Chains A and B, each alone.
Chain A
């Protein structure tokens, strides 16, 4: 699904050059649930931006769903994001002036679907996250957990190839966080590829595999947890 090879991303300002990612390579296969962890400054956010085609990079190659997306134009990247990727943000990023229905509608509008088709997808998505009854409410009328679930519905409505989640439970309390994670696991169980960036090791454990970034590179530690889990499962 996702294959990055030797990605390098540098931020330059007048005074300072920051090497956010240096020769980072990783692969995510279809249907996997991968957690990307690392301390602050490790390049997690940069990785996320590049994986989500939000930013470009200087060196390396990036294959997404079998296609080389390393040197796409801005317009093409927008199209890819719209069709292949579903985003879930830490601060939900719902548009306050729109109700839930209209919020889930946003990515669909950029795709020129007919009104009936859009309606069908939106209602299904909200149904999936359990908020169909509150379709016409505004985000301000919902709790944090509910807002995040709407954001997930928005991500799902486009029928993406991959979900990209950025600290999805970072702004939620533990019970809401639990609900959201259960939702993500359900979605994963249905076959959706999920890449989740998080700093919380407990959350990271719920994923199939854990990739650990340090100083812009994938660290050797990454594999350890996963092996431990497989071992545990083998002896359960």
Chain B
């Protein structure tokens, strides 16, 4: 019976090709646009580290000016980065299960051979727990542990390893950066958490840093942050050491907890209490920790624009469905005589209804397929427009099945009323000329 339904459906679609093309196009365009914006939104809103997002927390301490809050519009907020001295101290105290104090910098890599020119590469300067905290996958070697905190070691990304060492196992090899010799401790596999949750302030969707070096080298190499920094205090800063001791906030700090949030917060409060006695932290106690999803929310990582687009594109889908219903209704009027003939020949209302739904589902399926094609164009277009790294948003199985299902289900819903109307045609009386 279904194959008969199918055959009839295709015949009916052929009979009025312009109508059919228009209906399929309406559904395809609606699916194309809404699936594109939906994928981008989910990519931005997705949990980049689902297996651990509840256990990783960003730390904020309110070391800001006693006169006014860090964020005038949201006075309950503390600065979202720590001062160097606070980060260094908290890392030493090591109260949580693991912690990462880090910032972004850049170093000049001197060429391995003389032919190549030296070039600059970005680095994440971090304490050793980073790799285990964030489940960073290694292909060769390993990171460094606390004990090796200030030794000149480097972990390369796969791409940088390709460029410098042709992709081979370079663990133990030496590299000169900023006139210092570094030893390769490990090479990590392609790791692109989207969004870049551990440093959303400096662009949640920027490319990953090219290498990692120990936090302890900051002093020795006088490493400057290439990220953002904020300061409230007028301080005389004429040396790098003075910079490290200043009240400027420029270090990102993450902690992994397997137990009590409150216990850790109490630890932070105790530390800040200590610092207050030394004359710092003149604002009221305002220390907070945020898990990964909370942190991304805090920074509104999902661009407002993509939320607007999502809303508008679903309205667009509504219009497409309205078009479909309208076109189906007009088509139904043309079918009156055929339907009444079939009814006269014994088809029940249910059979007619089922036939209509099958036809609508076929149109929906066709619209969904073409809609998928349009979605892939749409995603490529988005990538071009926003110059995002390729593969950031791709057409995966989830999106594909979602597109087809939405297409078929929504067109079936759109077809319910017209199908019901078709069934109301009485048998054979419409055959008379009128």
- Chain A residues within CB distance 8 Å of chain B: 91, 96, 171
Contact = CB atoms under 8 A, between A and B. Distances in A.
A93 B434 CA distance: 7
B84 to A, nearest CB: 82
Interface residues of B, number: 2
A90 to B, nearest CB: 9
A224 to B, nearest CB: 34
Nearest to A93: B434
Interface string B202-224: 00000000000000000000000
A153 to B, nearest CB: 19
4 contacts: A91-B433, A91-B434, A96-B434, A171-B433
Nearest to B432: A171
Nearest to B434: A91
B428 to A, nearest CB: 16
Contacts of B433: 91, 171
Nearest to A91: B433
A171 B434 CA distance: 11
Contacts of B434: 91, 96
A91 B433 CA distance: 7
A198 B433 CA distance: 18
Contacts of A96: 434
Interface in B254-299: none
A91 B432 CA distance: 10
Interface in B377-416: none
A146 to B, nearest CB: 15
Interface string B410-434: 0000000000000000000000011
Top 4 A-B residue pairs of the complex, sorted by shortest distance between their CB atoms:
A91-B433, A91-B434, A96-B434, A171-B433
A91 B434 CA distance: 6
Nearest to B433: A91
Nearest to A94: B434
Contacts of A91: 433-434
Nearest to A147: B434
A92 to B, nearest CB: 8
Interface string B172-191: 00000000000000000000
A13 to B, nearest CB: 24
A34 B433 CA distance: 27
Nearest to A92: B434
A96 B433 CA distance: 13
Contacts of A171: 433
A171 B433 CA distance: 10
A114 B433 CA distance: 35
A200 to B, nearest CB: 18
Interface in B10-66: none
A23 B234 CA distance: 113
A70 B433 CA distance: 33
A134 to B, nearest CB: 19
A14 to B, nearest CB: 24
Nearest to A90: B433
A200 B79 CA distance: 101
A96 B434 CA distance: 9
A133 to B, nearest CB: 24
A59 B434 CA distance: 34
A41 to B, nearest CB: 20
A121 to B, nearest CB: 26
A3 to B, nearest CB: 33
B340 to A, nearest CB: 15
Nearest to A144: B432
